[in-house]
Amino acid sequence: MSHRILLLGAPGAGKGTQSAKLAEEYGVEHVTTGDALRANKDMETEYGTPRSFMEAGELVPDPVVNEIVEAALADADGFVLDGYPRNLEQAEYLSEITDLDAVIYLDVDEEVLVDRLTGRRVCDECGANFHVDFQPPEEPGVCDECGGELIQRDDDTEETARERLDVFYENTEPVIEHFRDEGDLVEVDGEATPDEVFERIRGVLDE
């Protein structure tokens, strides 16, 4: 089976963590709009820079994001796509540029998401994710993987995290409904350790 995997879920559901594991396990590309945009926060576009949207917890305009995804998917044989599509227009665009083999929704309760987001720390160097309580690094502030500095993302403050969750429920839940209606969606309970969730996803993909 080829692997063109779409991972859906709210901010904090574990998409980034699970995508990284999937990319390694199945030898596919990890395509993530969030990381791509963070690396290009000050890129000039006709809508302004991504930074202002991201710091407010809002969606970056579709044309900017669609272009990033199209370029990334054109270069990828198999992929795990994370952070896109976030609204129905993006879902429509995606259906025009590729076919998917699996669509997985990581289901996590809203209050768990807030706790995960506000306690999250990411490596400034390699992007690895940690959590101050649920997945602390061996040495506070230092990445276990590469020794880089762990920082809090600008948009992981409680206020912006809640805004991002509102944007998710308003714009992205319809995308999940869309895939559910098409009969393509597989739901995975995302409230477990990263390893347990990974085993569940692997079970789905290896079926």
Catalytic positions are: 15, 86, 120, 153, 164
84 binds ligand AMP (CB under 6 A): yes
Using CB under 6 A as the binding criterion, the count of chain residues that bind ligand AMP stands at: 17
Contact by Cβ (8 Å): 37, 54: yes
Nearest to 145 by CA among 121, 156, 131, 129: 129
Least distance to ligand AMP from the beta carbon of 190, Å?
A: 15
3 binds ligand AMP (CB under 6 A): no
4 binds ligand AMP (CB under 6 A): no
Contact by Cβ (8 Å): 32, 83: yes
Stretch of 19-27, 79-87, 179-187, 194-202 lying at the interface with ligand AMP (CB under 6 A)? 79-87
Nearby residues of 133 by Cβ (< 8 Å), 6 or more positions away: 119
CA–CA separation, 82 vs 4, rounded Å? Answer: 11
Contacting ligand AMP (CB under 6 A), which of 34, 122, 128, 190? 34
Contacting ligand AMP (CB under 6 A), which of 9, 14, 83, 190? 83
57 binds ligand AMP (CB under 6 A): yes
Which residues ranging from 161 to 190 are in contact with ligand AMP (CB under 6 A)? 164
- Which two structure tokens, joined as six digits, stand for 113? 């998401």
Strands 4-9 and 79-82: parallel
Stretch of 1-9, 84-92, 106-114, 133-141 lying at the interface with ligand AMP (CB under 6 A)? 84-92
User: Measured in whole angstroms, how far is the alpha carbon of residue 141 from the centre of its chain?
Assistant: 23
14 binds ligand AMP (CB under 6 A): no
Strands 29-32 and 102-107: unpaired
Instruction: Please state whether the peptide bond connecting residue 85 to the residue before it is cis, i.e. omega within 30 degrees of 0.
Output: yes
| First CA to last CA distance, the chain | 11
Q: Which is nearer to ligand AMP, 32 or 102 (CB)?
A: 32
Q: Which 3 state secondary structure label does DSSP give 162?
A: helix
Q: Is 51 annotated as a binding residue?
A: no
Residues forming the annotated binding site for ATP? Answer: 12-17, 120, 192
Judged by the rule CB under 6 A, the positions of this chain that interact with ligand AMP are: 11, 33-34, 37, 53-54, 57-60, 65, 83-84, 86, 90, 155, 164
The annotated binding site for Zn(2+) is made up of 123, 126, 143, 146
